Amino acid sequence: MELTRRGFLAAGGAALAGSMAFELSNQSSAFAFDADQEWKLVNTDEYTNICCYCSGGCGSIISVQDGELINLEGDVDHPISAGGLCSKGATMFQLRSVVTEDTRKVIPNPNRRTKPMVRRPGKADWENISWDDLISEVARHVKDTRDATFEETDKDGVVVNRTLAMASLGGSQQNNEEDYLIVKAMRSLGLVAIDNQARV
């Protein structure tokens, strides 16, 4: 069948009219706005925030109501991420708050740890420790281990000035400049095994 320009336009118009008629007669509640439901970001204070998970530094907007975090989403005005968050960053909300399965209410995350903890050798349980004690204990372990294992020369008499008993593994939060300083500090202790986690 030959389709003329007039015929094409007539057929297109009929198809469009048919489509609109179908939509109007089959309106789904999914398109309806529930005017009784309060928008969840009403009466919230908004703050800008930087993702804590990696040194990519993506930006987010956090919404706070009565001192509690109730929403977190990508910041479209952020110059690096322009509103995007990766899967880790998108779950940053759960560091502080979770939504209950039954009531769908936002509550503080009961599993959130706000203080350092330590599990002693041979112990099954974790115990709380102050930041001061934690730093002192780590420093003492580093000093004792280095003193006990430092080698000035290897078995052939070659100067090595190293310890093979410790390693350094950085997290993805560290940026280039921080890693530079960490490598300097670890090399000054004589560490050889130094690595860093990449971005996500």
Figure out which of the listed residues 70, 86, 98, 194 binds ligand SF4, where binding follows CB under 6 A: 86
Hey, which residues does 106 pair with through a beta bridge? 99
> Which residue, 53 or 93, is less far from ligand SF4 as judged by CB?
53
Q: Which residue, 53 or 191, is less far from ligand SF4 as judged by CB?
A: 53
Residues 83, 51: contact at Cβ < 8 Å?
no
Among 9, 10, 164, 200, binds ligand SF4 (CB under 6 A): 200
- Does 59 participate in binding ligand SF4 (rule CB under 6 A)? no
Count Cβ neighbours within 10 Å for each residue of 142-170 and write b for 16 or more, e otherwise. Answer: eeeeeeeeeeeeeeeeeebebbeebebee
96 close to 76: Cβ distance less than 8 angstroms:
no
Q: How many chain residues touch ligand SF4 (CB under 6 A)? A: 12
Cα–Cα distance between 117 and 141 in angstroms, integer? 16
* Candidate segments 34-42, 55-63, 179-187, 188-196, binder of ligand SF4 by CB under 6 A: 55-63
Query: Considering the complex, what minimum distance in angstroms separates the CB of residue 154 from ligand SF4?
Result: 40
Contact 56, 199 (CB under 8 A): yes
Decide if residue 190 touches ligand SF4 (CB under 6 A).
no
One residue of 44, 73, 88, 182 binding ligand SF4 per CB under 6 A: 88
Q: Where are the beta strands (DSSP E) in the chain?
A: 45-50, 59-65, 68-74, 97-99, 106-108, 117-118, 127-128, 151-153, 159-170, 191-196
Least distance in angstroms from the C-beta of 176 to ligand SF4:
15
Decide if residue 99 touches ligand SF4 (CB under 6 A).
no
Rounded Cα–Cα distance for residues 74 and 90 (Å): 8
C-beta of 67: minimal distance to ligand SF4 in Å? 24
Residue from the set 62, 69, 89, 163 that interacts with ligand SF4 by CB under 6 A: 89
For the chain, the C-alpha Rg in angstroms (whole number) is 29
Residue ranges in contact with ligand SF4 by CB under 6 A: 51, 53-54, 56-58, 81, 85-86, 88-89, 200
